């Protein structure tokens, strides 16, 4: 019997996003299947974050369509997309500094629950899930970078998404904390989530992603498995340029 391919959960169809004369993303198309992890990579200014903004509803694209779970969400506002099942984290984490870790996650949980008590119960569960149980009552301003990234994930997960967009979730995280974050992302996928991750760390991409898209100047330059993408000349140049020892 043939093995059926899971349906596309997200379809980005010929998206262009222009800001006046600046074309941040140009004629970009890709789809993400249920349960898949797709990595978006590329140098600064490639259009990765703008792509996230368009998927999450921060920007309405100049051209093209976004379909999610069979529904055209191109003009849906961010809160509508959140209810539809799209959640995201930010490159620069923006917790409410004076609120505790648990209260920050309650902000996400309140997208799902009306009663504060239910939101708190749920928030506790997600705080535990991301490994911040012992920091639950600490103000968010006291967290390390890695802990803040975990908090962002908990807050996003508390909205009960089907699709999670992670913007550089390993960025600025020290080497010691990195495997924990990677394992957490793996666990989310095992729990049934579909993920798109903006990621610069090739080792992390290799470990996590089923597929990767390399963007530059708003355009998709290459798409394939992490192994295939790693051989692309611009990827080789970019990563040797950034990480090469001899320069
Ligand atoms: N709101 C905006 N107004 C004008 N230009 C913008 C806006 N947002 C993004 N841009 C421009 O669009 C281009 C793509 O930016 P984007 O932030 O999507 O890139 P990126 O791949 O996420 O880069 P980085 O890795 O640095 O975050 C850049 O030239 C940026 O200056």
Whole-complex ipTM: 0.96
pLDDT (0 to 100) of residue 172: 85
Asked if residue 49 has its Cβ within 6 Å of ligand 1, the reply is yes
pLDDT (0 to 100) of residue 244: 43
Asked if residue 64 has its Cβ within 6 Å of ligand 1, the reply is no
User: What's this model's pTM, rounded to 2 decimal places?
Assistant: 0.91
The whole-number mean pLDDT for each consecutive block of 10 residues of the chain, a chain of 247 residues, reads 76 97 97 96 95 96 96 94 91 85 92 87 94 95 92 93 94 88 93 95 94 96 94 83 45
pLDDT (0 to 100) of residue 161: 95
* Structural contact between residues 11 and 64, judged by C-beta atoms closer than 8 angstroms: no
Asked if residue 93 has its Cβ within 6 Å of ligand 1, the reply is no
CA of 25 to the centre of ligand 1 (A): 9
CA of 47 to the centre of ligand 1 (A): 6
pLDDT (0 to 100) of residue 241: 62
Structure token pair of residue 49: 């974050």
* Cα separation, 161 vs 107, whole angstroms: 14
């Amino acid at each position: 019997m043939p093995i059926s391919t899971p349906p596309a959960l997200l379809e980005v169809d010929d998206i262009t996003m222009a800001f006046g004369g600046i074309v941040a993303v140009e004629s970009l198309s890709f789809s993400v299947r249920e349960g898949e992890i797709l990595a978006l990579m590329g140098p600064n200014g490639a259009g990765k974050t703008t792509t996230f903004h368009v998927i999450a509803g921060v920007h309405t694209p100049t051209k093209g369509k976004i379909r999610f779970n069979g529904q055209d969400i191109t003009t849906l506002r961010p809160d509508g997309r959140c209810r539809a099942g799209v959640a995201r984290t930010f490159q620069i984490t923006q917790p409410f500094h004076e609120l505790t870790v648990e209260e920050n996650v309650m902000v996400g949980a309140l997208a799902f629950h009306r009663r504060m008590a239910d939101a708190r119960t749920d928030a506790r569960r997600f705080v535990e899930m991301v490994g911040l149980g012992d920091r639950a009552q600490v103000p968010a301003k006291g967290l390390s970078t890695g802990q803040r990234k975990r908090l962002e994930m908990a807050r996003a997960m508390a909205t009960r998404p089907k699709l999670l967009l992670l913007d550089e979730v390993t960025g600025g995280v020290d080497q010691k904390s990195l495997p924990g974050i990677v394992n957490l992302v793996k666990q989310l996928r095992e729990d049934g989530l579909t993920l798109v991750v903006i990621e610069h760390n090739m080792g992390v991409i290799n470990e996590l992603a089923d597929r990767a898209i390399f963007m530059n100047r708003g355009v998709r330059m290459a798409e394939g498995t992490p192994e295939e993408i790693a051989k692309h000349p611009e990827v080789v140049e970019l990563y040797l340029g950034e990480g090469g020892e001899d320069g």
